[in-house]
């Protein structure tokens, strides 16, 4: 395929208002659009508080709203770009094949992980306490210098 054809289809898609495969991959495409829109809006807000903070209010709001609207349009077009939309549709198809754990199992597994981390933290604290006291006792470490004393 010639390079010019790819560019034309991308530009045509960018200016189009249609949705590609409207009823497929809806959840993943919506979540991707929400994530992209959040990034755009957060970027516009940050721009208004940093780069444009010294500008006049009307100029600041005009630039921020222009960038936000352009970014939101690009986010909408990205999730409807055929190659990316097909990828997101495939992702949703694969996610439907995953066997998800039930809530009771997740609670038990979370408890095991948190308990293990608490136990490991306690053991490491005990080792640290023991070696610190031992090295301080035999004057390998200067306990007062480490604790911030005079």
Question: Which pTM value belongs to this model?
Answer: 0.62
* Other CB atoms within 10 A of residue 115 CB: 10
Give the mean model confidence (pLDDT) for residues 20-46.
90
SS3 113: helix
pLDDT computed for residue 23 by the predictor: 83
Give the mean model confidence (pLDDT) for residues 24-51.
91
pLDDT, tens digit, 9 for 90 and up, residues 88-134: 999 999 998 999 899 999 999 999 999 999 999 999 999 999 999 99
To 5 degrees, how large is the angle CA 97–CA 100–CA 105?
160
**Cβ proximity of 31 and 79 under 8 Å:** no
Give the chain's largest Cα–Cα span.
78
**Cβ proximity of 75 and 37 under 8 Å:** yes
CA–CA separation, 120 vs 117, rounded Å? Answer: 5
* Structure tokens belonging to residue 22: 């409207």
């Amino acid at each position: 395929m010639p390079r010019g054809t790819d560019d034309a289809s991308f530009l045509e898609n960018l200016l189009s208002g249609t949705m590609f495969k409207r009823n497929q991959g809806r959840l993943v495409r919506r979540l991707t659009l929400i994530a992209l829109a959040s990034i755009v809006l957060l970027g516009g807000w940050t721009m208004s508080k940093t780069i444009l903070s010294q500008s006049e209010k009307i100029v600041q709001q005009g630039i921020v709203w222009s960038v936000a609207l352009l970014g939101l349009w690009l986010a909408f077009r990205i999730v409807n770009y055929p190659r990316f939309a097909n990828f997101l549709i495939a992702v949703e198809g694969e996610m439907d094949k995953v066997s998800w754990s039930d809530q009771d199992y997740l609670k038990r597994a979370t408890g095991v992980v948190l308990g293990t981390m608490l136990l490991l933290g306690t053991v490491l604290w005990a080792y640290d306490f023991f070696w610190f006291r031992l090295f301080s006792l035999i004057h390998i470490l200067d306990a007062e210098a480490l604790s911030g004393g005079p």
